[in-house]
Structure 1
């Protein structure tokens, strides 16, 4: 059975040209190098070197064996480089889908921070609705999803990442802009721009308004929080949207105020259950968990 250490010493002798130089190169005593060479010759059943007044002369068999050894070590070096690439995540690309509310500020900040920490990693992120995000995860079109989701698909694992508080977006010339906190009572008789009635946040808000005896005067219903904000900016009414969408820079014309009672949008990390995860995915998930939305940020 060939011994890797013997092969390494043989390679060193061939490249150094002598036992003395091979000993120094390997940081091994000369007797140990000589003994290793003798054992290798016994194991191979070959005479590898002939001693001459000018030093060791490799045999034909030694030169042929060295060619194969060098090829093998080149392969090992390649494997080592590939393993290093895996550790640095150089050969991986992670595909993440997020809801639009998180795609303008939060997600770019998450990605920038992650790539600063892992500069060899490669990421791709896209934005779509929560149901579509869950569908993409379930169909393996993306590695991870970050969404507001009530999906009950047993193949998808959900991890609660954070809660986005709901805030009130108000035209700056509206008297409500002078209020520090907005309540359902203050929104009585206000033109209201809301999200779809199927939205989780909308359903929570309707319950609070019903409890306060306030009927919303819905003027426009929009699919996206950013659309609500744009319509408020044009003076068409007030809106209640998540704090992240409200904080996206836009043209002057609106103010943001906290809304009470507190209503929050739950955000989940979605991934396939019981599937093998790459090192890149594990590190990114931990990074997202460690850098969730700041608690209490609602204005």
Structure 2
């Protein structure tokens, strides 16, 4: 049986008549009859018979109906997927991003995306760098966001914006924009643990600042670092997205001299073509980033 045979056959079985199948498939009754007759000719046995004026499936027809039901459901799913890929107006989008991007930037992006594509359901996962690559490769995420690049051979980065790092200091620390970092030597550094890419940059700070920072507390997220800095337990370094959201009454943002770059990237799995939902989400991200420049 061809796929067209199965589609028409299922419609006749569901509606109980040739005319009902025609209405369901937007075909004429004669067109439905021709498809069924052709299927029966290919198979070599009848699928239906007339009993007291009613269309009744044969034993063979009943067996084929049960066997083809699952295939028909998969066909409908395939049709819906194809439609979603074309329109991008429905379906599901799964996003993975590190905490700083999830908390400080993505809420505005998701709001704009939901307004443009209200029928797309979004799933946002807050993950760390290594977990993002795993989520993309296992197809648990369609698109990922992180600072800096990746060395994973199965992940493709898409450069978005070249930002920079900033010092986050207690509110009582000097002026908001201070050209020298020397006073930071007097208070401890709140460092970062795990595979956070900013943690690697912190290792270079000693050379750039002219002193070796003393690390007494290490945390995993810039949100936790902000809370500790606000309590005057030390200073830390944050990305440009986090820096622009900080409240001056709680902590002070200070320029780093010399600057340390903090590039923002999107990521896709190399072997999987990006879904239309992910591509449209990336467009919204790029539009939101233009507002920051």
Q: What's the TM-score, normalizing by structure 2?
A: 0.66
User: 2:146 matched to which residue of 1?
Assistant: 147
User: 2:62 matched to which residue of 1?
Assistant: none
User: 2:170 matched to which residue of 1?
Assistant: 171
C-alpha displacement at 1:214, in angstroms? 1.3
User: 1:18 matched to which residue of 2?
Assistant: none
User: 1:257 matched to which residue of 2?
Assistant: 254
Q: Is the 8 A contact 2:88 2:276 kept in 1?
A: yes
Pick which of 149-158 and 242-251 moved more.
Answer: 242-251
Please identify the structure whose Cα radius of gyration is greater. Answer: 1
C-alpha displacement at 1:85, in angstroms? 6.2
Q: How does 1:91-240 map to 2 (within 5 A)?
A: 91-148=90-147, 150-174=149-173, 176=174, 178-196=175-193, 199-240=196-237
Alpha-carbon distance in 1 for matches of 2:273, 2:117: 21
The secondary structure found in structure 1 opposite 2:280 is helix
Alpha-carbon distance in 1 for matches of 2:27, 2:120: 26
The structure-2 alpha-carbon separation of the partners of 1:85 and 1:223, relative to structure 1 and needing over 3 Å to count, comes to closer
The structure-2 alpha-carbon separation of the partners of 1:67 and 1:167, relative to structure 1 and needing over 3 Å to count, comes to closer
The alignment covers a number of residue pairs equal to 227
The secondary structure found in structure 2 opposite 1:270 is strand
The secondary structure found in structure 2 opposite 1:104 is helix
Counterpart selection for 1:272 from 264, 269, 279: 269
Q: Is the 8 A contact 1:229 1:246 kept in 2?
A: no
Alpha-carbon distance in 2 for matches of 1:260, 1:286: 33
Q: How does 1:76-91 map to 2 (within 5 A)?
A: 87-91=86-90
CA RMSD of aligned residues (A): 3.2
The structure-2 alpha-carbon separation of the partners of 1:293 and 1:195, relative to structure 1 and needing over 3 Å to count, comes to farther
Alpha-carbon distance in 1 for matches of 2:84, 2:189: 54
Specify every segment of 5 or more residues in structure 1 that has no aligned partner in the other structure, as ranges.
1-63
Q: What's the TM-score, normalizing by structure 1?
A: 0.65
Alpha-carbon distance in 1 for matches of 2:262, 2:188: 23
Q: Is the 8 A contact 2:98 2:128 kept in 1?
A: yes
C-alpha displacement at 1:97, in angstroms? 0.7
Q: Is the 8 A contact 1:88 1:121 kept in 2?
A: no
Alpha-carbon distance in 2 for matches of 1:279, 1:95: 12
The structure-2 alpha-carbon separation of the partners of 1:273 and 1:229, relative to structure 1 and needing over 3 Å to count, comes to same
Specify every segment of 5 or more residues in structure 2 that has no aligned partner in the other structure, as ranges.
1-16, 29-75
The structure-2 alpha-carbon separation of the partners of 1:72 and 1:148, relative to structure 1 and needing over 3 Å to count, comes to same
Q: Is the 8 A contact 2:96 2:145 kept in 1?
A: yes
